[in-house]
Structure 1
Amino acid sequence: MHLFAKNSAKLTAYCRIIPEQDGVHIGRVLVTEEARGTGFAKKLMAQALTICQQQWQSENVYVQAQAYLQDFYQSLGFKPISEVYLEDGIPHLDMVKGE
């Protein structure tokens, strides 16, 4: 499932939601540079988490977060479940909500 937000017909925020056996995975979360700091990411993630609960009643929701966004995801209830690692040269860590 793909979830996105537009502002003046321009894509502003996006994520995908993929149900798997261990829970639901939210990935490819992005907010355009000009929309950062405006609350789009928090609104997008709130909607994504609502969909996860309504569609799959999932106890566990996972994100593969860029390390610098750890505090943002923790503010939404996610907890780190891995050490920081590099993916495509960018520091990431795995996080879960509900475990």
Structure 2
Amino acid sequence: MRLSVKKTSELSVPELLEIMKARVKVFVVEQECPYQEIDDQDDNALHMILRVDGRLAAYTRIIKDSKPGYMSFGRVLVVKEFREQHLGREIVSATIEEIKQDFPGNNIKISGQSYLQKFYESFGFKPVSDVYLEDGIPHIDFELQVIE
């Protein structure tokens, strides 16, 4: 297992295509949710890539949140053949640590699918919104207080 962290500008064309294919497969095809998956946030994102045997297994994208003093991450995915191996927990833990290290002084705000509420709460995230629909899928906003 190998974790790498790269800015969009540091990704090779094959790496970028691999990430985009995985994101579209999971969020558009598997979840049957047609939406603009690749967006302007990708321009300045930090990409967390977890590989197993050289293959993309899990991924997240770190971005600045619109709320001052907050960072965010999203597009959390585990490729289908790597599910049930706790890689979601691995990639989210690594993402939180990366934010703490690279963006000190910021808390973390995310929008997560509501069925993952207990998963995100296990990392210390607290729900800060009611359930709402984003692209037809129930979501909740969560915050993690990193700074005291």
Structure 2 unpaired stretches of 5+: 1-45
| 1:35 partnered with 2:82 | yes
- Structure number with greater CO (CA < 8 Å, separation at least 6) is 1
**Higher share of residues assigned strand:** 1
In the alignment, the residues of structure 2 paired with residue 82 and residue 58 of structure 1 have an alpha-carbon distance, to the nearest angstrom, of 23
SS in 1 for 2:85: coil
Q: With structure 1 as the length reference, what TM-score do the two structures score?
A: 0.91
**Higher share of residues assigned helix:** 2
| 1:83 partnered with 2:107 | no
Residue matched to 1:64 = 111
Backbone CA RMSD of aligned residues: 1.4
In the alignment, the residues of structure 2 paired with residue 35 and residue 85 of structure 1 have an alpha-carbon distance, to the nearest angstrom, of 29
Cα drift, residue 79 of structure 1: 0.6
Cα drift, residue 32 of structure 1: 1.5
Give the length in aligned residue pairs.
99
| Structure of greater Rg | 2
Q: With structure 2 as the length reference, what TM-score do the two structures score?
A: 0.62
**Identity across the alignment (%):** 38
Q: Which amino acid aligns with 2:56?
A: L
Maintained 8 Å contact 2:69/2:106: no
Structure 1 unpaired stretches of 5+: none
User: After TM superposition, which residue ranges in structure 1, 4 or more long, deviate above 6 angstroms?
Assistant: none
Q: Which amino acid aligns with 1:44?
A: I
